[in-house]
Amino acid sequence: MMDPLLPHEIELTGKWIALDGDVQGDAVCERIDYLTEILDVVQDHPQAGGWRRLFRDPADGRYWELTYPQAELHAGGPPALRWISDDEMKQEYGFSG
């Protein structure tokens, strides 16, 4: 079992690594995949077509945004998961927590 989000964490950014002629996600990518399975899905970004998704951590109520900052790469590149403030959430998603 992987670690849940910790109180001091505000951003996790995965990286792709080349291994034996293949490209795969690093341990941070694996953790982000795990976290997005246990966090509550709130909604997809209204203008990002599924490339940005808002989650809520049921453990502490914080909101997190899943993005793909290297979207120009195949399959959107490695994921990033970052804490999102109420102000930014209201601006980007149209509501506050």
Kindly state whether residue 2 falls inside one of the protein's structural domains. no
Confidence (pTM): 0.90
At residue 90, φ and ψ (nearest 5 deg) are -65, -40
Residue-wise pLDDT for 59-96, tens only, equals 999 999 999 987 666 666 899 999 999 999 999 999 87
Domain coverage including residue 26: 11-93
Strand segments (E) across the chain: 11-13, 16-19, 22-25, 40-44, 53-56, 63-67, 80-83
Kindly state whether residue 3 falls inside one of the protein's structural domains. no
Kindly state whether residue 4 falls inside one of the protein's structural domains. no
Pick 14 or 50 by higher pLDDT: 14
Residue-wise pLDDT for 37-62, tens only, equals 999 999 999 998 778 999 999 999 99
| Number of domains within the chain | 1
Kindly state whether residue 6 falls inside one of the protein's structural domains. no
Kindly state whether residue 67 falls inside one of the protein's structural domains. yes
Kindly state whether residue 57 falls inside one of the protein's structural domains. yes
